[in-house]
Amino acid sequence: MKNASPGPVSQEDRAALEGLLGPAEELAADLLLWTSTRAPDGDGARAGLPYDPDRHEAVYYHHDVASGLRALVSLHSTVLGPGLGGARWRPYEHIGEALIDVLRLSAAMTAKSAVAGVDYGGGKAAIVGDPAAKTPELLAAYGRFVERLGGRYITTTDVGTTLDDLRAIARETDHLAGVARGGQHDVDTSEPTARTVINGMHAACEFAFGNSLLVGRRVVVVGTGKVGGKVARRAAAAGAHVAVTDLYEDVAADLAREIGGEQIALDDAYLQPCDVLSPNALGGVLNPQSITQLRCRVVCGAANNQLLHDPADAELLAARGILYAPDYVVSSGGVIAAGIDHAGGGADRIEELVKRAGPTTLKLLHLAEREGITTAEAALRSVDARLANARAA
């Protein structure tokens, strides 16, 4: 174990977290742990099933006084292997907001790894702060935090973190995926993620329209960052009429010019008539209010936790005749690349699993139709089966 930075945790954060999760176990003055805890916003709908998104094996909180780092790591499940997931660096308004985010995201990573066929569980980190204000000291402190978890959590990039950040973190821990080690090359997880989204989009179009072609179809891409920008480029290259939008309007404008697409206002994105709506930013965008306003036939994007209530909101989509391609199925490219990289596998294995995303999506869509269930429920059954088999082995 590399040196940790001692110091008391933020008492304000501790009180807020204990109010949501119950009393913490104090592993050190700067490190708290909650085990076998339930998400405070969970509905308990899947309690007792192999995949219960509300039940988490462990939640860690670390406050490094010297650097100012305030971070959470959630391990939803390690049934398939160590928890693998990115470090999300955001200016959360309070620690409770970061907690809800990290719990939902780590549960989604369990599902994503299960359907992707990699031997990793669900983990995620949430760091409170402005990603533009990261310092070497903050990155080093986060790396030491990951190291202290002893390999139970494998970190990589996410919203607000980059490969350069990961290289700095790698000076403090080996428990990470995505940066070069030995003779390997860096792994940009955004590229395989965009590819699995496009593969899933072709599959969804085949199911919804009778052919997989994107030629002539209107695709609205919401979020043009590391993944969304690549999704937009690939959709345009496949012949789609692409409209893009982003919180950063200049980024969206540049991308629209590059691909010969259209820039639309972010506030209007979910009101646009289109064949495919592709959410590629933050989650919770498909909810009872927004679903009533959608004017698309297919939803297929990389954003995690698109359904505010999974799988209940999928029923609302189905009732409106909107085909939902489950986000953790079509966005599995990142966990595939990171997991295979961490396990020491090569590009051929990554390519094999990335190509599998399209057929897997189509299989789940047909399962939903055959069983009279939503596509979200079909995906959950697949996750249940993989976890149940792993526990029985």
**Final residue of a structural domain among 169, 200, 226:** 169
Count of domains forming the chain: 2
**Catalytic, out of 124, 134, 226, 230:** 124
Residue 126 DSSP SS3: strand
Q: Max alpha carbon distance in the chain (Å)?
A: 61
> Averaged over 244-259, what is the pLDDT?
97
Residue 247 DSSP SS3: coil
Whether residue 254 is found in the same domain as residue 383: yes
DSSP 44-58: -TTTTSS--TTEEEE
Cα 300 to chain centroid, rounded: 14
Q: For residue 268, what is the enclosing H or E element?
A: none
Q: Residue 174 falls within a domain, yes or no?
A: no
> Averaged over 42-56, what is the pLDDT?
94
Whether residue 143 is found in the same domain as residue 208: no
Q: Give the pLDDT band (50/70/90) at residue 181.
A: low
Whether residue 309 is found in the same domain as residue 370: yes
Predicted local confidence at residue 8, as pLDDT? 86
Q: Is the per-residue pLDDT at 7 higher than 80?
A: no
What proportion of the chain, given as a percentage, has pLDDT over 90? Answer: 90
> Averaged over 165-180, what is the pLDDT?
92
Whether residue 122 is found in the same domain as residue 163: yes
Predicted local confidence at residue 4, as pLDDT? 45
Helices (H), 8-122: 11-21, 95-116
Q: Residue 383 falls within a domain, yes or no?
A: yes
Q: Residue 109 falls within a domain, yes or no?
A: yes
Cα dihedral 297, 244, 98, 357 sign = positive
Q: Is the per-residue pLDDT at 254 higher than 80?
A: yes
What lies within 8 Å, CB to CB, of 273 at 6+ separation is 218, 295, 296
Distance CA 197, CA 201 (A): 6
Distance CA 185, CA 167 (A): 12
Whether residue 138 is found in the same domain as residue 208: no
Whether residue 127 is found in the same domain as residue 237: no
> Averaged over 329-341, what is the pLDDT?
95
CATH of the domain at 93: 3.40.50.10860
Whether residue 271 is found in the same domain as residue 380: yes
Asked about 2 being catalytic, the answer comes back as no
Q: Give the pLDDT band (50/70/90) at residue 186.
A: confident
Q: Residue 182 falls within a domain, yes or no?
A: no
Whether residue 282 is found in the same domain as residue 352: yes
Whether residue 18 is found in the same domain as residue 91: yes
Residue 390 DSSP SS3: helix
Query: Is the separation of the CB atoms in 266 and 161 below 8 Å?
Result: no
pLDDT tens, residue by residue, 92-129:
999 999 999 999 999 999 999 999 999 999 999 999 99
Q: Residue 178 falls within a domain, yes or no?
A: no
Q: Residue 142 falls within a domain, yes or no?
A: yes
**Final residue of a structural domain among 169, 200, 221:** 169
Q: Give the pLDDT band (50/70/90) at residue 334.
A: very high
What lies within 8 Å, CB to CB, of 121 at 6+ separation is 75, 76, 77, 78, 79, 80, 81, 82, 83, 84, 109, 110, 113
Q: Is the per-residue pLDDT at 212 higher than 50?
A: yes
Predicted local confidence at residue 182, as pLDDT? 52
CATH of the domain at 290: 3.40.50.720
Q: Give the pLDDT band (50/70/90) at residue 183.
A: very low
Q: Is the per-residue pLDDT at 1 higher than 60?
A: no
Distance CA 115, CA 360 (A): 8
Q: Residue 207 falls within a domain, yes or no?
A: yes
pLDDT tens, residue by residue, 68-101:
999 999 999 999 999 999 999 999 999 999 999 9
Distance CA 50, CA 53 (A): 10
Torsion angle (degrees, nearest 10) of CA 54, 60, 61, 66: -160
Q: Give the pLDDT band (50/70/90) at residue 47.
A: very high
Whether residue 76 is found in the same domain as residue 122: yes
Instruction: Give backbone dihedrals phi and psi of 59, rounded to 5 degrees, phi first.
Output: -130, 125
> Residue 124 is part of which domain span?
11-169
Q: Residue 308 falls within a domain, yes or no?
A: yes
Whether residue 213 is found in the same domain as residue 259: yes
Predicted local confidence at residue 188, as pLDDT? 84
Q: Per mean pLDDT, which range of 235-249, 338-352, 373-387 is the poorest?
A: 338-352
Whether residue 92 is found in the same domain as residue 161: yes
Residue 226 DSSP SS3: coil
pLDDT tens, residue by residue, 279-327:
999 889 999 999 999 999 999 999 999 999 888 899 999 999 999 999 9
